Structure 1
Amino acid sequence: MAERGASPKPALLEVEITTAGYGTATVLESVRFSAGVESLGIVGRNGMGKSTLCKVITGLHRNASGSIRLAGREILGRKPAQIGRAGVGYVPQGRRIFASLTVTEHFLMLGPHRSKDWPLDRVFELFPRLGDRRSHLGRHLSGGEQQMLAIARAVVVGPRLLIMDEPSEGLAPVVVDTLVDACLSLAVGGDMGILVVEQNLHAALRLTDRVMVMVRGSIVEDMSTTEFRKRTDLQELHLGVSRSDLL
């Protein structure tokens, strides 16, 4: 809690996207929200613009207008490497690890970009399975192990904001639970914000403090996870999820 009379800290992330799209097709329109050091989930059906939003924030999609600020600093229009150095870590949909590198080599290749706060021992404490598989090539890892590696690779640079796009995609429920537990331990520290796009509502509700719903490129709902969990009407309306699906 801030001391009385202290100036409020700026939001970690402030998004005011006027439009974003591909060619003449508009995908995002009037997307406005801010986030502090919290765990924020964005949920919605397929094709609603969630992944495009991640790519715009990280600089991977540059056909966008508006403003995106990280800790008060404008980052919209900057190159992905510049945005990464500013403090944004990204776990893309599809993992995108290197098939011919070992687990350990994925971290060593980051060189000076690795944070001193994340020695390999701490990485393997977060994901013990990666420690067990440290000498294995990326191609020989299971889907769950590859996702652990993708998350760990983004974390070791010490981001202020970690963005994850569909981290549970294609994974067995027991593996999803392991990933969520690890991400929850990251959030407990209180010095890194998490923005996660998820179709798996069960995982999203476990991981986040706050949920936004995206429909046709716009944010239509924004509330605490506790409140959204109760709003089964909104879950069914926007996601086609019934109460029994979450049991």
Structure 2
Amino acid sequence: MMSTTPYLEYRDITAGYNGTEVVSQVSFAVCKGQRWGVLGRNGAGKSTTLAAAVGLSQLQAGEILLNGRDIGSTPIFQRSRSGLGFVPQGRDIFPSLSVEENILVAAKNGNASEALDMAYTMFPRLKERRNNGGTQLSGGEQQMLSIARAIVTKPQVLLLDEPLEGLAPKVRQELMASITDMIDELGLACVLVEQYVDVILDFSQHVLVLESGRPVYTGPTEDLRRDHQDIIENAIGLRKL
């Protein structure tokens, strides 16, 4: 039975940068095995919402809880060690290091063999490229490596910020299938920000929709599809799904 205890919980948060408010009044809770998506037009505050959890945007009001503990003032590195895995925009890898070296840098507690086995089981293509440098990988392979680096830290919650950016349609489809299988197999909670609305709606069980930094819908994906075509049109920009 799926746990109802939130791994990650936002409680009426306001967040931004250098004192400027970007998002406000955001509340949602992510439990084990749940897949959340964050939708909105460009500039709506989607990435800022994720960044607040890992300490990369400024939490100005409200609380963010990880396993019931307020992490609002916790240093960034400790949030990762406490169970948050974050894959930012831009494929966060070391281009001068090999695939294997990138994975080992991220490995938790220095368990090299376990980390490599985990990464290569999730993404067999990385094993084939294990001696290649970051700049020798395709865009899809770089994103696989970025996700693998987050997963070997053994998170409870995986935050993905536009992992499909710049990828060809076939590669997007393959990568999302791998991500979904991985999350289900490991029993992870996940929050996905993505510009491809259909990807979010197909992947997510629950959705947060932001408009100009404020939530206009928080709830089940199917309810959004069925009952809120006005939100879909106004906040997301689609006339139908």
TM score, norm. by length of structure 2: 0.90
Shift of 1:24: 4.3
Shift of 1:191: 2.9
Shift of 1:116: 8.3
Aligned to 2:58, the other structure's residue is in SS state coil
Aligned mates of 2:223, 2:25 — CA distance in 1: 24
1:14 aligned residue: 9
Aligned mates of 1:224, 1:135 — CA distance in 2: 43
Q: Mapping of 1:220-231 within 5 angstroms?
A: 220-230=216-226, 231=228
Aligned mates of 1:72, 1:121 — CA distance in 2: 31
CA 1:46–1:115 in 2, change beyond 3 Å: closer, same or farther? farther
1:33 aligned residue: 28
TM score, norm. by length of structure 1: 0.88
Identity across aligned pairs (percent)?
A: 38
Tell me, yes or no, if the aligned pair for 2:48 and 2:57 is still in contact at 8 Å.
yes
CA 1:109–1:47 in 2, change beyond 3 Å: closer, same or farther? same
Tell me, yes or no, if the aligned pair for 1:211 and 1:225 is still in contact at 8 Å.
yes
Aligned mates of 1:114, 1:97 — CA distance in 2: 18
Question: RMSD in angstroms over aligned alpha carbons?
Answer: 2.2
Measured against aligned partners, the alpha-carbon deviations of 1:58-111 in whole angstroms (never above 9, x if no partner) come to 012235222111111111121110100110000001112111001010111234
User: What letter corresponds to residue 32 of structure 1 in structure 2?
Assistant: S
User: Structure 1 unaligned runs (5+)?
Assistant: 3-7
Q: Mapping of 1:57-136 within 5 angstroms?
A: 57-113=53-109, 118-136=114-132
Shift of 1:132: 1.5
CA 1:27–1:117 in 2, change beyond 3 Å: closer, same or farther? farther
Matched, 1:181 2:185: no
Q: Mapping of 1:212-223 within 5 angstroms?
A: 212-223=208-219
186-195 vs 108-117, which moves further: 108-117
Shift of 1:115: 6.7
Measured against aligned partners, the alpha-carbon deviations of 1:111-142 in whole angstroms (never above 9, x if no partner) come to 44467895423322321221221111001111
CA 1:86–1:96 in 2, change beyond 3 Å: closer, same or farther? same
Aligned mates of 1:132, 1:60 — CA distance in 2: 33
User: Structure 2 unaligned runs (5+)?
Assistant: none
